[in-house]
């Protein structure tokens, strides 16, 4: 490949990243504003007698429960999705059980490594496809046929699906990630640390329950880096 072609590709990718960052920031900000319009209206014009202290307590309760994910999720998703797809993913939602698997499968299908430009573009296209399929299926199976389907499905089946749907989704995502990434050492490290955290550490120290996921992610990164295959990393750098 000629130097001129490489330069043109680099320039195009740089322009793409610049534009997605610009419009992604604007879109995310607009989404935040629109999502707060309803609660803001209720607070100031709904006659609900909500005080700033009540809002602060509610925010603290939510932050104590979910605040750790504000840090863990971006750090976990970014190496696979890339910057452009991150804007899409956090605007659309259902990242771990829909968008991330779609990106992993797309990258694996074209042999694109996560973190590369080819991998980032594959993530963008995969998320576009996943969102299109999701919206189409919602329109048909919820908007058009939703009431009819619920009326004919036995309650026992609905109850079983409600109980097991999340473990099924997370199990499928885990298997997809392991097969697509093909990184034996980090996989073993993550599984072992997860088992230790939730079978040993948390029963002994229940106060760490809310921070279990974050701690496993952090220690998995550190330990995986320590036990990494240095020869393989050296060969990749040289390539």
Q: pLDDT band for position 174 (50/70/90)?
A: confident
The 10s digit of each residue's pLDDT in 214-234 is 788 888 888 888 887 766 545
Predicted confidence at residue 232, as pLDDT, reads 57
CA dist 133 and 151 (Å) reads 24
Mean pLDDT of 187-204: 89
> Angle at CA 143, nearest 5°, toward 28 and 130?
45
Positive or negative, the CA dihedral 8, 9, 15, 18 is: negative
Lookup result for tokens 């969102």: 131
CA dist 10 and 31 (Å) reads 31
CA dist 52 and 55 (Å) reads 5
Mean pLDDT of 143-152: 84
Predicted confidence at residue 230, as pLDDT, reads 66
The encoded tokens of residue 171 equal 């199990």
Q: Among the ranges 75-79, 119-123, 159-163, which has the highest mean pLDDT value?
A: 119-123
Among the residue ranges 56-60, 80-84, 100-104, 230-234, the one predicted with the least confidence is 230-234
Position 167 pLDDT exceeds 60? yes
Integer angstrom CA distances of residue 96 from 47, 57, 92, 127, 190: 38, 29, 12, 12, 16
CA dist 191 and 58 (Å) reads 34
The 10s digit of each residue's pLDDT in 15-44 is 888 898 899 899 999 998 998 898 888 888
Single pTM value for the model:
0.66
Kindly give, in sequence order, each residue whose CB lies less than 8 Å from that of residue 73, ignoring residues fewer than 6 positions away.
95
CA dist 239 and 225 (Å) reads 20
Predicted confidence at residue 239, as pLDDT, reads 45
Residue among 127, 124, 122 at smallest CA distance from 109: 122
- 3 state DSSP class of 115: coil
Integer angstrom CA distances of residue 232 from 227, 228, 236: 12, 9, 6
Do the beta carbons of residue 77 and residue 89 sit within 8 Å?
A: yes
Among the residue ranges 3-12, 33-42, 185-194, 200-209, the one predicted with the least confidence is 3-12
Q: In the chain, pLDDT over 90 holds for what percent of residues?
A: 12
Position 96 pLDDT exceeds 50? yes
């Amino acid at each position: 490949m000629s130097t001129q072609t490489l330069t043109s590709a680099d320039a195009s990718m740089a322009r793409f990243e610049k534009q997605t960052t610009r419009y992604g920031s604007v879109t995310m900000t607009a989404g935040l504003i629109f999502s707060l319009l309803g609660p803001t209206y209720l607070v100031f014009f709904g006659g609900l007698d909500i005080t700033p202290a009540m809002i602060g307590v509610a925010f603290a309760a939510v932050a104590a429960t979910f605040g750790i994910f504000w840090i863990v999720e971006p750090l976990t998703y970014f190496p696979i999705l890339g910057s452009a797809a991150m804007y899409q993913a956090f605007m659309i939602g259902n990242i771990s059980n829909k968008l991330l698997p779609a990106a992993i499968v797309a990258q694996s299908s074209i042999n694109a490594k996560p973190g590369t430009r080819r991998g980032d573009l594959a993530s963008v296209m995969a998320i576009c496809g996943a969102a299109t399929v999701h919206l189409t299926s919602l329109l048909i199976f919820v908007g058009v046929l939703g009431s009819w389907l619920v009326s004919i499905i036995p309650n026992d089946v609905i109850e079983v699906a409600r109980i097991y749907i999340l473990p099924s989704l997370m199990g499928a995502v885990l298997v997809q990630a392991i097969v697509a990434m093909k990184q034996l050492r980090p996989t073993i490290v993550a599984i072992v640390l997860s088992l230790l955290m939730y079978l040993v550490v948390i029963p002994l120290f229940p106060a760490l329950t809310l921070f279990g996921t974050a701690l496993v992610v952090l220690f998995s990164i550190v330990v995986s880096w320590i036990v990494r295959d240095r020869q393989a990393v050296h060969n990749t750098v040289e390539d």
